Amino acid sequence: MRVHHLNCGSLSEIETVDGRGAPARAVCHCLLIETAAAGLVLVDAGLGTRDVARPAERLGADWISYAGPVLDPAETALHQVRALGHDPADVRHVIVTHLHNDHIGGLADFPGATVHVHAAEDPAGHEAQLAHGVRWRTYADAPGEEWGGFAGVQAFAGLPPEILLLPMAGHTPGHIGVAVDTGDGTLVHAGDCYFYHGEVDRPDPVVHPLMNLIQEANESDRTLRLANVDRLRALARADAGKVTVFSAHDPWEFSRLT
């Protein structure tokens, strides 16, 4: 399956912890997957055209001041799907890692899509992002399979078995990761389970001081989240070369993949 890595929303510029990488703007890392049987599948929707047009109303002054979104219409998934030569109506499925505004702002740009989300996510507080009328498909925790150290792994309804739901709670109660077997290795989109590559790709893990403050202010269950970061670190290390783990906002992971 062909997979495109899209940045659907540049945010404030941040520095690396060890100074080994150049400063870069944080991203909203989304995937556009071309499937044979289920059309186009988007993983996370980033910021959408309505956010760019009416940021204060949709995103709030607080979030805008700390996240520093660039708000470029060309970065929306809608624009990038068109730029790749696709019809946005062919985006038939959107998988969202969790219901935070920087992951669901683009949903209104794909009103015909089925939106796949964990049942434990709470739509309250996101009325503007969801007001267009979302066609939900929700997933409760289930026995499921074990994959990559994660238990209760499920397939998504109507999607090919190469795309899997990885329960990854902790940032939010129903936060999920998404594994995509591309045929040339497996991508694991870890959403906001962690924010900085140094948390998973070093034997001596480091957090990003600024990003970690934001994580601590937003996470719903630190113990669960850190257990999932441990799983991701083990997965990335055990299957290096075959499995690529990345998170939603780290710009250095994004640039490695594009």
Distance in Å, CB of 100 to Zn ion, minimum: 5
Q: Which residue has the tokens 């969801």?
A: 130
List the structure tokens of 73.
């219409």
- Tell me the DSSP string of 15-50: --SSS-S--EE---EEEEEE-SSS-EEEE---S-HH
Distance in Å, CB of 183 to Zn ion, minimum: 28
Which residue number, 51 or 102, has a Cβ lying nearer to Zn ion? 102
List the structure tokens of 140.
């409760």
| Amino acid at site 81 | V
Distance in Å, CB of 101 to Zn ion, minimum: 8
Distance in Å, CB of 63 to Zn ion, minimum: 10
Which residue number, 39 or 75, has a Cβ lying nearer to Zn ion? 75
- Nearest residue to 179 (alpha-carbon basis) of 191, 155, 195, 163: 163
Supply angle C-alpha 170, 173, 178, rounded to 5.
75
Distance in Å, CB of 192 to Zn ion, minimum: 4
Distance in Å, CB of 98 to Zn ion, minimum: 8
Strands of 150-248, DSSP E = 150-155, 163-167, 176-181, 186-189, 243-246
Decide: 245 and 193 in contact? Cβ < 8 Å. Answer: no
Residues forming contacts to Zn ion in the complex (CB under 5 A) are: 102, 192
Q: Which residue has the tokens 């080994």?
A: 20
Q: Bin 34: left if φ > 0, else alpha if -120 < ψ < 50, else beta.
A: beta
